[in-house]
Copies of this chain bind each other. A is one copy, B any other.
Amino acid sequence: MSKNTAMQSDLENLIKYLSKLPGLGNRSAKRLALHLLKNKTSLMLPLAESIYRTAENIKKCTECGNYDTAEICNICSDAKRDNSIICVVEDVADLWAMDRSGMYRGKYHVLGGTLSAMDGVGPEDLNIPKLLQRTKNEEVKEIILATNATVQGQTTAFYINDKLKDLGKNITRLAHGIPIGGELDFLDEGTLNTAMQARKAV
């Protein structure tokens, strides 16, 4: 792109940064940059301001790894939530998804990823030591391993289960099976097998 004399370096830089965002290539980054320039006051400046403000104000909760403006996030400090259950998730997006359902009123623990030998991610790179520390608290009775149903997610759940199993706590995981609204014809064999094996009496 450096040979393209028609493009100024500020704009080239912006496109470079935009193309580093997940799911965006060079072409979509160009489109975004032009869209921003076309909507300078309504979108471009407010977006930059919003990125700055978020970068400044939002930090990781030292207890669970959720993002919040406070040291201890509003979930961890919520007295109305059940302290005896910790739901372990991979990412903050998973925490949001669980909390959106409104069914779960316990606490969370965000790992910040999954174990991966290929990417060189070990237990010390994730928020696992803090989880082990939290689960030693007498108040905690149950740990729900709600990592994704992927190979990496299951491996990570397996590892954590191994570390926690001698503490004498209830360790559970989310049920696997047919998603509500799911049509059998569109589901993969792994899901169908799991659902068949875990079938229940009506």
Contact = CB atoms under 8 A, between A and B. Distances in A.
Interface of A: 4-8, 10-11, 13-14, 17-18, 20-23, 28, 30-37, 40, 43-55, 57-58, 66-69, 74-75, 91-93, 95-96, 99-100
Majority SS of interface residues in chain A? helix
Nearest to A113: B38
A17 B17 CA distance: 17
Given A10-B57, A30-B93, A36-B51, A5 B99 contact: yes
Count of identical protomers in the assembly: 2
A8 B67 contact: yes
Given A8-B68, A17-B43, 14 more contacts: A5-B74, A6-B95, A8-B58, A10-B50, A10-B53, A11-B54, A17-B50, A21-B36, A23-B28, A30-B96, A34-B67, A37-B58, A44-B51, A45-B55
